[in-house]
Chain A
Amino acid sequence: GESVGLHLPTLSVQEGDNSIINCAYSNSASDYFIWYKQESGKGPQFIIDIRSNMDKRQGQRVTVLLNKTVKHLSLQIAATQPGDSAVYFCAENIGGGKLIFGQGTELSVKP
């Protein structure tokens, strides 16, 4: 029979709007966090990272916010474009360079 797969959270936004993707991480000792974008049929692609001694970092059209108190990470994408449609993963470094990935959020951008 068919296997039941993960049901990814989905975020649907209008082109030009801002997107916010959230992630809860598990290990309070994690010191490094990364956001990846994965398009269909491709490997995860690095977007932005942040170390635990920071609470905000900005890139081109993207901002990552880190709240260590509640172990929460968010990715903000400004002026979302159709090319931003993908699955977005957060990952935390739990030590020794070992990354643990979240389940992912599927972003769908409507033109």
Chain B
Amino acid sequence: DAGVIQSPRHEVTEMGQEVTLRCKPISGHNSLFWYRQTMMRGLELLIYFNNNVPIDDSGMPEDRFSAKMPNASFSTLKIQPSEPRDSAVYFCASSLVGLAGLYNEQFFGPGTRLTVL
């Protein structure tokens, strides 16, 4: 298995531009998570999906951020308009939640390093 795939690996954009980050979870996993990592705040959960349905988006900083999961093998995190304070590494992770609601480890992708100038 290729693991969690994220693209692009690096993104440099100017303030005000739209940014779209992409994620392909591990095949067979039913939960997908988006995280943001900064030196100031560490690793923060932004939103997560279970069976393609958003379950908890309380970590999404503001309305400029949105996430979608149109199918089990693809998710996007969009920032529009982007601001310099959005500069961070964004990670996608996936896991398999068992039938009894038993949680298992989350597997992380390599991350997208976003720089907003």
A-to-B contact residues, CB < 8 Å: 3-6, 32, 34, 36, 42-46, 49, 89, 93, 96-104
- The answer on a CB contact under 8 Å between B56 and A6 is no
Contacts of B99 in A (CB 8 A): none
Q: Is B82 part of the contact surface with A, judged by Cβ < 8 Å?
A: no
Q: Is B91 part of the contact surface with A, judged by Cβ < 8 Å?
A: yes
Q: Is B48 part of the contact surface with A, judged by Cβ < 8 Å?
A: yes
Contact mask for chain B residues 37-48; partner A; CB cutoff 8 A; 1 contact, 0 none: 011111111001
B-to-A contact residues, CB < 8 Å: 4, 31, 33, 38-45, 48, 50, 55-56, 91, 93, 95, 97, 103-111
Given contact pairs A34-B105, A46-B106, a sample of 6 additional A-B residue pairs in the complex whose CB atoms are under 8 Å apart: A4-B40, A5-B38, A43-B109, A43-B110, A97-B97, A102-B42
- The answer on a CB contact under 8 Å between B105 and A98 is no
Give A45 to B109 CA distance when docked, in angstroms: 9
With A3-B40, A43-B111, A45-B108 in contact, do A97 and B95 touch (Cβ < 8 Å)? yes
Contacts of A46 in B (CB 8 A): 105-107
With A43-B111, A44-B108, A45-B108 in contact, do A6 and B103 touch (Cβ < 8 Å)? no
Give the shortest distance, in Å, between A9 (CB) and chain B (any CB): 12
Give the shortest distance, in Å, between B95 (CB) and chain A (any CB): 7
**Which residue of chain B is the closest to A35 with respect to CB atoms?**
B105
Contacts of B111 in A (CB 8 A): 42-43
Contacts of A101 in B (CB 8 A): 42-44
- The answer on a CB contact under 8 Å between A49 and B40 is no
Give A6 to B42 CA distance when docked, in angstroms: 7
With A34-B105, A43-B111 in contact, do A98 and B48 touch (Cβ < 8 Å)? yes
Give the shortest distance, in Å, between B28 (CB) and chain A (any CB): 16
With A43-B109, A96-B55, A96-B56 in contact, do A5 and B103 touch (Cβ < 8 Å)? no
Contacts of A43 in B (CB 8 A): 4, 91, 93, 108-111
Contacts of A93 in B (CB 8 A): 103
- The answer on a CB contact under 8 Å between A99 and B55 is no
